[in-house]
Chains A and B, each alone.
Chain A
């Protein structure tokens, strides 16, 4: 164990003494993120291309109007392109993939809210897109929360409104209580819970906010959707894979440079040498990842989300990066082969995994292929943590896939490298 740690520590010391190559690799994702950020707006307050949303209003009442109006105000107006359509038109356009999402407000929406009867808003997401429909989903949920809390807090005026609408007499206090409670439970979304929103309404609802909205508002301190948080996860993976590759390539370099044979001439075993080198790749990739996370937080104001989810996902991601690279180096015997193969493999994995072109904007066939790229699971999980405050359970599939990939490539990779060295084929 001491020998393994000695080799590992020596590798880290060497990187600290000549850090240029690792720093350059760390700069890849930072630069990529920066460029995208500059293209979309300097401060990270984004003007993403407008999201096309279809709205089927079967209610035509006060609250459906409120929802529609709300979605066309302020920041949201810059983000969403809302078109009112009939139910039939809507289904047709969605099936043709002409919009990112369709929101259908049921008949009797206004009346039911006023009566305290649960209502359900139907949200249809374009299955070939991933990110944009999620934005719509988040917005809709937020609007629903607003509506919910609004109906509660403004229950007085609302009930008055109702009596005006229905021409009834002033309700009793008891009636008012009923209405309030009803309204509180009034809006039940298809997605059951209220997640953090992407869009802040804090200013507009500050005085009237209930806890759920405040929580949502707090999360969005930086103001609005952070494009950097959207781009960083994907580009980060490119940097991390290249770093793991760089460190593992060292085994080949040390072989030609004579330091590997020199190690093997000591009492240290081949297994210990390989474990030390692979361990060093894990550690240095991990350190680079932490630097990238710090840069994301400090330089790009990215909300790093749930700490335990972030921690586990980072470990799983580094395990995957180290594992995949170890496996590839188990199959490669010379630096020339590595030159020819490694960058191509990394670029292809990154491309399909959505590191270069956002996954959501890839053609659906490519998206399907992308699911076979380890980079997809690493980047997608990270995005969910950054953007939607995903917890451990939300990314459990990602974690399981990354750990499985990591372990299943790390073990055979390590054994392959070991047997190569032992045979003297290295």
Chain B
């Protein structure tokens, strides 16, 4: 397995805000590496440093064997970036946009036109290619935004929340495109705050929050972290002491007045636990049961829910 991206001890602050705090990871060729984290976690900051737009305060980035600090331009040549915010010229047609972005990577003439056509076909926008981007729907803009970073057929692709704010159907299309790219041997970093996306397409996932990678690995490896247990969260008007003895042999993950989170081995023990809870007549507002999943992992490693 060849390491395409090697990041060590990467940090970046904006004044007082420590956006990225000494993260490190590696991504192998042909792998989709996911960054899963809530708003402000430091995903975009990390992507900006990887794309050479933002200088790290410390740490190192090596891409395809080249050091970012000394070979920035060579690295940018083999990298495609799909920014979180749609960055296109609204007054130009989809095709003109792609011609421009492709041209910046040194493509010209017939080669450029062919590449643009291929990119348009990839996102199924060839029919609307002549219309100004201004007239596109949100999903179509997202798709053109995606393929603007692909015209030059980069080896490494950085996607920063490419499915933000679009309907499920358009989202599936984009996910399919990304999977297809990985199948063709591209190395991909994919940031998202949607658990399902990370579960669905990423080979390995890093859980990031407050500029720190809390855990990383394949989905199976991560789920292993919660011990393959069912996580039950109970909230209501009870004190921490009231519920402590109910727990029995279950493992307490978190406890405070009004909230209890326990890990249970299987469905039977979960049923027993909940039966016991309701028979006490305690005031319970809600119960959430999570099968072992990325969601429960996220909750456990960061101590908070990942909300949209």
Contact = CB atoms under 8 A, between A and B. Distances in A.
Interface residues of A toward B: which range?
A: 20 to 34
A143 B105 CA distance: 68
B85 A258 contact: yes
Contact of B83 (A13, A17, A258, A269): A258
Nearest to B79: A265
A379 to B, nearest CB: 32
Given A18-B91, A257-B87, A267 B55 contact: no
A269 B104 CA distance: 10
B87 A262 contact: yes
A7 B81 CA distance: 19
A264 interface: yes
B87 A258 contact: yes
Contacts of A10: 89, 92, 100
Contacts of B52: 264-265
Interface in B6-25: none
A261 B87 contact: yes
A166 B103 CA distance: 88
Contacts of A264: 52-53
A259 interface: yes
B86 interface: yes
Given A264-B53, A424-B54, A269 B89 contact: no
Interface string A251-284: 0000001110111111111000000000000000
A263 B102 CA distance: 11
Contacts of A18: 91
A6 B51 contact: no
Contacts of B106: 2, 267
Contact of B104 (A13, A17, A261, A268): A268
A214 B52 CA distance: 69
B50 to A, nearest CB: 10
Given A265-B81, A267-B73, A6 B88 contact: no
Interface residues of B, number: 29
A268 B106 CA distance: 9
Given A13-B92, A14-B92, A6 B104 contact: yes
A218 interface: no
B88 A259 contact: yes
Nearest to A18: B91
Contact of A266 (B48, B96, B101): B101
Nearest to B75: A267
B87 A267 contact: no
A17 B132 contact: yes
B105 A261 contact: no
Interface string A231-267: 0000000000000000000000000011101111111
Contacts of A6: 100, 103-104
B51 A265 contact: yes
Contacts of A267: 73, 76-77, 104-106
A18 B132 CA distance: 10
B18 to A, nearest CB: 17
17 contacts: A2-B108, A3-B104, A13-B92, A14-B89, A14-B92, A18-B91, A258-B83, A258-B85, A259-B89, A261-B48, A262-B81, A262-B87, A262-B101, A265-B51, A265-B53, A266-B76, A267-B104
Interface of A: 2-3, 6-7, 10, 13-14, 17-18, 257-259, 261-269, 424
Given A6-B103, A17-B92, A264-B53, 14 more contacts: A3-B104, A10-B89, A13-B92, A18-B91, A258-B83, A259-B87, A261-B83, A262-B148, A265-B51, A266-B76, A267-B76, A267-B104, A267-B106, A424-B55
